[in-house]
Structure 1
Amino acid sequence: MQNTRDALTPENLAMLQSIAETGSFAAAARQLGVVPSALTYRVRQIEDALDVLLFDRSARHARPTDAGMELLREGKRLLEDVDAIANRVRRVATGWEPQLTLSVDGVISPTTMLELVEAFYALGPPTRVKWRDGILGGTAEALTSGQADLAIGVAVGASNVAGLQSAPLGEVRFIFVVAPHHPLAKVPEPISDTTLREHRAIAVADSARRSNVTMGILAGQDVLTVDNMRAKIHAQLRGLGGGFLPEPMVRPYLEAGHLVERQVARPARNVRLSYQWGGPGHAAPGRALQWWLSQLQSDATRRALLENHHQF
């Protein structure tokens, strides 16, 4: 290989990803259908062209060096960019996107989302649908970073991303709830921050990579962090802690007596949500995205996305 452009081809980047994922040159060679010696030779060519060592060969497994980890991270991004270019080219030719990726926040009803997916598939489109779970800032970040085409359930806030379009989805009231056997279920209301700080909070991790948004956590408070809203609900049902949850999501548990709402000495939390599309590098919506946007114009659909949690 004469230069770095010859080294950093999509094929070579995919090969390096395979080595890192399988943990050995031999396993990667089997996966790629080549002999181990040929794969080792190609890796050494890449290392020579970049003048770096990409894998530590002293251990039993092929472990990426720091330089190798950086190349793997950037290489993954480059491969995603190549796929995105190919997708955009095909979309221009057919009008239908080959894939439509939806970034869906944890407050959105999965039942209603699946009903929409079912209705979309009934059209017989050539478009594959990918559903990404999002929490807090991560729901919008998937869109603005080019990893999604439509974000549903974005907390309304200022955004200066060029080309980003947004429309209101609705408002969700968050309430503080605990299990009936939790100590906070019996203390006088409104519960002060001082009292709350003495008890563990259950929080959902922000899925964004570039931010770390938290909601309702007090300084110095013990926190159990989970990955999604369903896990948060179950943790609170077990009495592992307390926290704010969307009222429509916990309504069945409140009605059954499995959770109790408690008044706290802080303002009510009503979160306005939107759905967003577009952004940097996005062309006019393809036929698949147009269909989803048309569904979201319905008041009944938007209301169901926020309220219809009892059936799932």
Structure 2
Amino acid sequence: MNIEALRYVQAVSRTGSFSAAARAYGVTQPALSNGVARLEEELGVTLFDRSPRGVRPTAHGARILPLIDDVLDSLDVLVADSRRLAGPVAETIRLGVSPLIGADLVARVFQAARSLERPRDLVLREADLEPLSGDLRAGRLDIVLVPAVAGMPAFRHRVVAREPVVVVDPVASGDDDPVELKAVADATYILGPGTCGLTTFTTELFRGGDLALHAYPGEAASFRAVDEWAAIGLGSALLPRSKVAHEHASCRPLLRAGAPVEIAYEAVWDCDTPLGADLDDLVTALVRSGEDPEESGK
């Protein structure tokens, strides 16, 4: 059984699209589609329903896909543990964080690092999504905390936090009721650089709703500038709720098809390093530290 084909299937499952999975994995769509088809033939089941509306797991796929995740997780742990035994392990963990990552989440990472069987120190670097992704691929970082929008399927991913998104609209004075994305799609939105995770999130949100994104002709340097510029009326903005620092005439919870829009933050790391097993433990401890005690006890 081809391991790469298993990863192709996992990428399709996570992205919900063959084309998006191919872009994320850095291969052509025919190559990825052929790999998935060969695996389906080998397993004797069809894993995905393909339609113009998107890709969804079949009834068989819904049972098989979690097993594929388990197989790949076990394989990653095997490789990480083997490398940890074969080579020296660093005393520090190099952690890259997006500017959207709050201090409370960073503090939880420090606590999780201290809870490891072999406690580690953290060395932090803050940067936008694109440079952090590049440093992770180049081995200059061990793990990153970023908005869950980056296509890096060769790495391990795990969502560690979520928060609601609000729309700041300087035109809709005094209205703080929830609003559908389609109802505010015609506004002009202030964006940051293309390397920014918030800009990527906003772009993908509109694309996923098959909506045109009208961008303000200027470019903010950070989410803080997006908030400030919206406050002085240059345009509308989509922001995580915790990142709204200024008073706005209208700051409304955003909905899509009746459901609250949330931005997810994920840990992304490489198991194929001597630190891989420790990073697995770090992320597990981080997730547990943020769980609702009532929910985790159910």
TM (norm. structure 2) is 0.49
TM (norm. structure 1) is 0.47
